[in-house]
């Protein structure tokens, strides 16, 4: 009985470690999404800063596809951030449930909450 509880706690610790590694993966995906979100902002900053050197109507054929590409990049970056945020919240709920089921984990993870 005691060895079964120890194995169960060891399995729970292994499961939490696996879930925490998935959280790290989701955080790196979120970091990538934030970087993709920042790219169109920097492109538009350069365009605004150099706007006195060109006529916007003369280069409208270049500006419209660039604006469309930036919009797509912003949507993709927002999708990555929201997807990873939801994934992290889901994993946190699973970790909390495991923590409630195993008192050994609750002692080790008091400072986390």
- Between CA 71 and CA 48 the distance in angstroms is 16
What pTM was computed for the model? Answer: 0.80
Say which residues have a Cβ less than 8 Å from residue 64's Cβ, sequence separation at least 6: none
In angstroms, the first-to-last Cα distance of the chain is 30
pLDDT of residue 2: 42
pLDDT of residue 11: 87
91-105 pLDDT tens trace: 999 999 988 888 777
27-48 pLDDT tens trace: 999 999 999 999 999 999 999 8
> Structure tokens of 52?
């006195």
């Amino acid at each position: 009985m005691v060895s079964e509880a120890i194995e169960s706690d060891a399995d729970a610790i292994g499961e939490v470690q696996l879930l925490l590694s998935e959280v790290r993966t989701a955080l790196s995906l979120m970091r990538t999404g934030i970087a993709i979100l920042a790219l169109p902002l920097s492109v538009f900053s350069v365009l605004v800063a150099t706007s006195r050197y060109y006529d916007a109507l003369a280069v409208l054929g270049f500006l419209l596809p660039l604006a469309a590409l930036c919009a797509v990049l912003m949507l993709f970056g927002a999708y990555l951030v929201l997807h990873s945020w939801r994934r992290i919240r889901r994993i946190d709920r699973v970790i909390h449930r495991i923590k409630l089921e195993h008192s050994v984990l609750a002692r080790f993870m008091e400072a986390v909450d």
